[in-house]
Amino acid sequence: MEIKIQKRVLEKNETEADKNRAYFKENNVFVLNMMSSPGSGKTETLCKSLGRLMPGIRTGVIVGDICTANDADRLKVTGAKVIQINTDQFGGDCHLAAHMIDTSARELGCEDLDLLIVENIGNLVCPAEFDIGEDARAVVLSVTEGEDKPLKYPLMFQVADIAILNKVDLLPYLDFDAPLAVENMKKVHPGMPVFEISAKTEQGLDPWLEWLKSKVKEKIG
Ligand SMILES: Nc1nc2c(ncn2[C@@H]2O[C@H](COP(=O)(O)OP(=O)(O)OP(=O)(O)O)[C@@H](O)[C@H]2O)c(=O)[nH]1
Ligand SMILES: [Mg+2]
């Protein structure tokens, strides 16, 4: 019974994701879905990255949290168009679903954007199951979370096109084995590019931004 309901929810979501894909294609905008556990540094990475992308790449952000507009307030400082979704109005969902993106993307307006980044709800499980009509997915893992997370939560790393290993500035103070974490990511997703960065110090941002720019160019020309 529970399996059937979950299947229906995912099928309905898929139809809505197709509608989003058509809208994004119509507006010639590349969409990146950024996912991670709470606190891995999605917002901090975006705060430091958006300034390096704009104005060359006109970027907007949809940011999801269960409550608060804290992340939208942080992201607006960059000058990007930002809209906050709070899922407590949808019963506190732990992921962004395609219908939420439909409403917010139209409210934000994608006509004047080259790139739309969706910062998903902090959660290493559910967001991996919900297609939102995106072109690519990025997963962020931070060095305080443990090397084994890709093995414990493989779906998130399997659906991601790239991974970002964040907070490398903390490595001197931790026992975290970064090469082992990368090896574990590649074990569940062979060949996936992994970018090691510190959003705090901005170390390593260029390679991941080059990847992102090349994907935007590939879609919008
Ligand atoms: N030392 C260090 N701290 C960082 C780095 N990136 C983020 N932080 C800190 O980690 C905390 C969480 O960062 P956020 O950017 O809010 O993380 P998030 O993934 O957006 O969190 P949610 O949206 O709640 O899921 C904040 O206190 C950041 O300042 C980093 O590279 N190094
Ligand atoms: Mg955030």
Chain mean position to CA 173? 27
| 0.95 exceeded by pTM | yes
Atom 21 of ligand 1, residue of closest alpha carbon: 39
Atom 12 of ligand 1, residue of closest alpha carbon: 39
Decide if 182 contacts 194 (C-beta within 8 A).
yes
Please report which ligand is nearest the Cα atom of 124.
Answer: 1
Is a pLDDT exceeding 70 seen at residue 58? yes
| 177-194 tens-digit pLDDT | 999 999 999 999 999 999
Is a pLDDT exceeding 70 seen at residue 156? yes
- Round to whole Å and give the CA distance between 127 and 146: 20
* Count of CA atoms in the C-beta half-sphere (13 A) of 106: 10
| 68-90 tens-digit pLDDT | 999 999 999 999 999 999 999 88
> Is CATH 3.60.20.10 correct for 2-220?
no
**CA–centroid distance, residue 62 to ligand 1 (Å):** 17
Domain map of the chain by residue range?
Answer: 2-220
Ligand 1 site residues (CB inside 6 A) read 36, 38-44, 65, 71, 122, 166-167, 169-170, 198-200
